[in-house]
Amino acid sequence: PGSAQSAPRASAPMDASDLRALAKEREARQRPAAAAATTTSPPLPDSWRAKPAPSSRGAMPSLSGAHRSILLARMFGVGLHLLSPLFWMLGFGRLALLLLLGGVGLARGGGALVHGAVPPMLRETERPPSKEEMDAAAGAGLYCVAGVRNFGPNLASEWAMALESLAFVCTYGKKNCLTNEMYRGELSLGKIAGLVWGKLREGVVRC
C-alpha cells in the first residue's frame, strides 16, 4: 500500500512554489551571461558611432551634390591657379597675382557668373545657384581659411572635382562617344586630354 501511494506523488504536477524556484534558477544562470555581454560592449560615447568619420579630420565638408555651375566655377579657379606660377616664372608677376586672386574669387563666388556665361549644354538646370548655395560652397573645400589649414586633403579634393567637371565639359554632360571611355576607371588629366585629342584627330568635334 505504501508503494501504491508513493507513485501518484511522483507523477503529481509541480505547484506554484516549484515553478517560481525554477524561474529563479533560470534567471540566475542568465544573469552572468548578460553581465558579460554588457561589460564587453563599450559605452556609446567611446564607441565608433560617437566619433567623427576619419575624413572629417582632413577635407572640409564635401561639395558633392553642389550646383553644377558652382563646380565649374571651382574648376576654372583651379585652372587659373595652375596658370599663375607659369606667368610668374615668365616675369609677369602682376598678371600672376591677378590670376591667383581671380581664381580664389571665382572659386568662392563665381557660380552665378559661370552659369550665365557657359553655353546651355553645360547647364544641368536652368536655375542659377542661389545665394545660400554659394555661401555654403564658399565655406567648404580649399578656398576658405579652415580649408587652407588642411591643405593637402582639400587640394586633392579640389583637384578630383576639377577633373570631374572637366570630363563633364568634354562630354557635354551627356552620354556620347566619349562618355564610356571617359568614365571607365579613374579620371586623370592625361586620360581626358588623350581621349579628346584622339577624337579631334579623327575629325570629331561634337559626338
- Residue carrying C-alpha cell 506523488: 9
What's the pLDDT at 172? 82
Q: How many helices (H) and strands (E) does the chain have?
A: 10, 0
Amino acid at 146: A
How far is the C-alpha of 151 from the C-alpha of 159, rounded, in Å? 12
What contacts 24+ positions apart, CB below 8 Å, involve 175-178? Answer: 176/207, 177/204, 177/207, 178/207
What's the pLDDT at 176? 76
What's the pLDDT at 26? 63
Buried b (16+ CB within 10 A) or exposed e, 37-46: eeeeeeeeee
What's the pLDDT at 18? 58
- Residue carrying C-alpha cell 559605452: 43
How far is the C-alpha of 75 from the C-alpha of 71, rounded, in Å? 6
Cell numbers placing 197: 585629342
How far is the C-alpha of 104 from the C-alpha of 58, rounded, in Å? 20
How far is the C-alpha of 138 from the C-alpha of 73, rounded, in Å? 11
The whole-number mean pLDDT for each consecutive block of 10 residues of the chain, a chain of 207 residues, reads: 46 54 63 47 33 40 82 95 94 94 94 94 92 91 89 91 92 80 88 88 73
Q: Say how many C-beta atoms besides its own lie within 10 A of residue 58's C-beta.
A: 13
